[in-house]
Amino acid sequence: MVEKADQVFVLLQHWLISFLPAVLQPAAAVLLGVIAIVCVFPGLFALTTIFERKGLGRIQNRLGPNRVGPFGLFQPVADGIKALIKEDIVPTSANPAVHFLAPVILVVAVFMGFAVLPMGRNMVLVDMDAGLLFFFAMGASTELSVFMAGWSSRNKYSLLGAMRAVAQMISYEIILLLSSVAVVMTAGSLSLPKIVAAQNQYSYGLPHWYIFTPWGLAAFVMYAIAATAETNRSPFDLPEGESELVAGYHTEYSGFKFALFFLGEYLAMFSISGLGTTLFLGGWTAPLSVLAWIPSWIWFFGKVMISIFVFIWMRGTLPRLRQDQLMNFAWKFVLPFTLLDLLVTAFWRFMGEGWLRWVVSTAILAGAYVFMGRVGMYKEHFGSRTYRYAE
Amino acid sequence: MGITFYLIAAITLAGALAAMTLKHLVHAALAVTVAFAGLALFFLNLDAQFAGFAQILIYIGAVAILVVFAILLTRGSDLPKDGVFSHTWFVGFAIAAGIFAVLGWAVLASAKALPSESAVPAVTVHDIGVVLMGRYVLPLEIVALLLTAATIGAVIVALHEKERAR
Amino acid sequence: MASVSPLTAYLVVAALLFSIGLAGALVRRNAIMVLIGIELMLNAANLNFVAFWRYSPHPEALTGMMFAIFSIAVAAAEAAVGLGLVIAIYRHTQTTDLDKMNRMKG
């Protein structure tokens, strides 16, 4: 019974394709998976928009949208109808072909990334040998669409926003890749289902997730920072900062194309959170071995939604970083720390089981963090903290 | 030859031709990106998955963006006034056509000596890793040194002249 | 052309791509377009290597694919340095037109 609940979608897929002749069955199986992904993730996107607006509202001490439906839950429907019936304005001096293609390429590249995520036991669309590399290749393709959007609008603010966004995405992409390499070194494979299987062991009831190791925690924190920067979320959202650049590289987009950009950004958030949970949080495995009876896909989506909640929380609480602060942070602090983390991962791997490797890894990482922080802050002169309250 | 081969060949060659003949530089850069994508599809068709994904990651994710940034930084987005081809265009085309004729003749004349069908090689990323760290470790280290030198060199070459004149 | 083997087809496409890149590098006026032509030529050579690797008698030796991967890495480095040079020259002479750069005097 537990096993059936866990594999309910796989069994459903097998039952549906049993109606077709044997020669069409593999193609139909993949097609069903694609339809499932294309329906589930935009549905989650709609849920997340209302989640975000209510969440941000509560953090900012106000109610979010509460007019449409009970507690405002039908707001995404209203937003969708608005986006679809709005007039599609294209500036006269804009480049029409490139202007049209930019959101399309963004959404297509982001959807391709979902193909390699294992969303449950036996629930990965394509089990590629180099799955992680495929995911990062699709992520790299999104940068080009951002540039196309900014350049084709013939607007100085759009172009500026696009160039800033691309520079930021390239810098943090390196950090994303290097922090994933630490996981690949330990798991021994680039294939995402195998990485999840390597974390699917329990000792004393606690799982072998990589986040529970010193190098894994450091790598996860850097992955999270890089993921926030890659999807242009606050506190790294200067390229689309509403108060600085109007709307950055999607200033000149309206109606359905703007909705596509919005969809692309949230889907990129889902896909990068999905990869983060697969690499560090154990994918579809349960946190305690006693809880393994809950279906695996509930664990996967639960962890992804918790990551989305952390993204929304960061957006509501942290101030925006300036472009040069953001680039300095990436190149001068996070990147050397990532390389050090690779070294520590190698020590961990070759030192053998026992308490010694925990002590050595934690000491190296904590010592380097404190040292590099002190060196970086050496020139800053901070006065004592003062508080001013609103009267 | 299956339909996929012809389709990918059409995409790649169309992109390359468009890149070399378009007047507007940014359009040409986007066309050459299409050509790069077509080549990645060729690699995937040839069962070289690692090379295909590396091609997408490096060429489309980095080289195409570099080219586009360079076009913007050199004000290339305005249309050129004097035309697209240089004044010695005829000789250039003749040389390229001659080289294609020689290469094509060489390939077709030796077609009988080339192997025709062979089994799909079962190459895993693990094998690539073993070979990189085993037989090809010296080229790997030299490429690492080369990339470091190229990074430092590119930064120095493109450094703003005002700071160096001080 | 039904008797053409797959390898021959790949080699012909690679030769065509190479000559298109060569034509672009020899004929275009803008320095950046010349660099794009060079990238196309490198890509054509990579296609050649991978096609020969695929249809070789010992593909498990991975020689062709390794050469192509190293070539991709080197091409990226060379594109970076080349474009840096073009930007530096533009700063000095305010033009990227190769027809105008016909003097050695800087």
Instruction: Give the model confidence (pLDDT) of B35-56 as tens digits.
Output: 999 999 999 999 899 999 999 9
What tokens does A172 get?
């943090």
Predicted pLDDT at B163: 53
Query: pLDDT confidence of B78, banded at 50, 70, 90?
Result: low
Record: fold of C6-100: Helix Hairpins (1.10.287)
**Could you give the CA distance from residue A7 to residue A124 in angstroms, rounded to a whole number?**
12
What tokens does C89 get?
């020259």
DSSP class of residue C97? B
* Cβ pair B64:A98 closer than 8 A: no
**Could you give the CA distance from residue B1 to residue C102 in angstroms, rounded to a whole number?**
48
Predicted pLDDT at A343: 94
Mean pLDDT over residues B82-95, rounded? Answer: 82
Q: What is the 3-state secondary structure (H, E, C) of B75-86?
A: CCCCCCCCCCEC
Alpha carbon separation from B124 to A127, A314, C62 (Å, rounded): 13, 40, 11
**Could you give the CA distance from residue A348 to residue A359 in angstroms, rounded to a whole number?**
10
Residue listed under structure tokens 């799909």: B120
DSSP class of residue B122? -
All residues of chain C having their beta carbon less than 8 Å from the beta carbon of residue B150 are 77-78, 80-81
Q: What is the 3-state secondary structure (H, E, C) of chain A?
A: CHHHHHCHHHHHHHHHHCCCCHHHHHHHHHHHHHHHHHHHHHHHHHHHHHHHHHHHHHHCCCCCCCCCCHHHCCHHHHHHHHHHHCCCCCCCCCCHHHHHHHHHHHHHHHHHHHHHCCCCCCCCCCCCCCHHHHHHHHHHHHHHHHHHHHHHCCCHHHHHHHHHHHHHHHHHHHHHHHHHHHHHHHHCCCCHHHHHHHCCCEECCEECCHHHCHHHHHHHHHHHHHHHHHCCCCCCCHHHCCCCCCCHHHCCCCCHHHHHHHHHHHHHHHHHHHHHHHHCCCCCCCCCHHHCCCCHHHHHHHHHHHHHHHHHHHHHHCCCCCHHHHHHHHHHHHHHHHHHHHHHHHHHHHCCCCHHHHHHHHHHHHHHHHHHHHHHCCCCCCCCCCCCCCC
- Residue pair A323/A65 in contact (Cβ under 8 Å)? The answer is no
- Residue pair A168/B103 in contact (Cβ under 8 Å)? The answer is no
- pLDDT of residue B82 exceeding 80: no
pTM of the entire predicted model: 0.91
C101 near B CB under 8 A: no
* Cβ pair B61:A129 closer than 8 A: no
**Sequence-separated (6 or more) residues with CB below 8 Å from residue A50:** A64, A65, A72, A73, A75, A76
- pLDDT of residue B165 exceeding 50: no
* Cβ pair C8:B43 closer than 8 A: no
Residue listed under structure tokens 């109007």: A246
* Cβ pair C16:B100 closer than 8 A: yes
ipTM for this prediction: 0.91
Partners of B85 in beta bridges = C28
Q: At what angle do helices C6-27 and B89-109 cross, to 10 degrees?
A: 170
**Chain C residue nearest residue B20, CA to CA:** C24
**Could you give the CA distance from residue A135 to residue A263 in angstroms, rounded to a whole number?**
18
Predicted pLDDT at A22: 83
User: A191 — alpha (psi -120 to 50), left (phi > 0) or beta?
Assistant: beta
* Cβ pair C8:B114 closer than 8 A: yes
Predicted pLDDT at A178: 94
Residue length of chain A: 391
- Encode A5-16: b = buried (16+ Cβ within 10 Å), e = exposed: ebbebeeebeee
**Could you give the CA distance from residue A244 to residue A234 in angstroms, rounded to a whole number?**
14
Task: For residue A391, count other CB atoms closer than 10 A to its CB.
Answer: 3
Q: Which of B59, B111, B128 sits opposite C4 (nearest CB)?
A: B111
Q: Which of A134, A138, A170 sits opposite B65 (nearest CB)?
A: A170
- Residue pair A183/A280 in contact (Cβ under 8 Å)? The answer is yes
- pLDDT of residue B74 exceeding 80: yes
* Cβ pair A159:B124 closer than 8 A: no
Predicted pLDDT at A289: 80
- The Cβ-side half-sphere exposure at A300, using a 13 Å CA radius, reads 22
Predicted pLDDT at C100: 78
Residue listed under structure tokens 């083997």: C5
DSSP class of residue C28? B
Q: At what angle do helices A256-279 and A75-85 cross, to 10 degrees?
A: 130
| Dihedral angle, C-alpha A200, A203, A204, A210, nearest 10 ° | -70
| Dihedral angle, C-alpha C43, C48, C51, C52, nearest 10 ° | -150
**Sequence-separated (6 or more) residues with CB below 8 Å from residue A161:** A150, A239, A240, A245, A247, A248, A249, A251
What tokens does A159 get?
């172009």
- B-facing residues of A in 182-201 (CB < 8 A) are 188-191
Alpha carbon separation from A29 to A4, A117, B45 (Å, rounded): 19, 16, 22
What tokens does A177 get?
């890749």
Q: Please, which chains are in contact with B (at least 3 CB pairs closer than 8 A)?
A: A, C
- Residue pair C40/B29 in contact (Cβ under 8 Å)? The answer is no
Domain residue ranges in chain A? 87-374
| Dihedral angle, C-alpha B46, B47, B48, B53, nearest 10 ° | 100
**What are the average pLDDT values for consecutive 10-residue runs of chain A, which has 391 residues?**
84 87 86 93 92 91 86 86 85 83 92 92 88 93 88 80 87 93 91 91 81 92 93 79 62 82 92 94 86 88 94 90 87 93 92 86 92 79 79 74
- Look over chain B and give the mean of its residue pLDDT values, rounded to a whole number: 86
All residues of chain B having their beta carbon less than 8 Å from the beta carbon of residue A136 are 57
Q: B18-33, pLDDT tens digit by residue?
A: 998 888 888 899 999 9
- Residue pair C38/C21 in contact (Cβ under 8 Å)? The answer is yes
Query: pLDDT confidence of B166, banded at 50, 70, 90?
Result: very low
User: B115 — alpha (psi -120 to 50), left (phi > 0) or beta?
Assistant: beta
- Residue pair C73/B58 in contact (Cβ under 8 Å)? The answer is yes
Q: Quote the percentage of chain B above a pLDDT of 70.
A: 87
- Residue pair B147/C77 in contact (Cβ under 8 Å)? The answer is yes
Q: Which of B66, B75, B84 sits opposite C80 (nearest CB)?
A: B66
Task: For residue B79, count other CB atoms closer than 10 A to its CB.
Answer: 9
Of the listed ranges A268-277, B68-77, C4-13, the least confidently predicted one is B68-77
DSSP class of residue B166? -
**Could you give the CA distance from residue A94 to residue A100 in angstroms, rounded to a whole number?**
10
What tokens does A163 get?
């160039």
Phi, psi dihedrals of residue A202, rounded to the nearest 5°: -125, 135
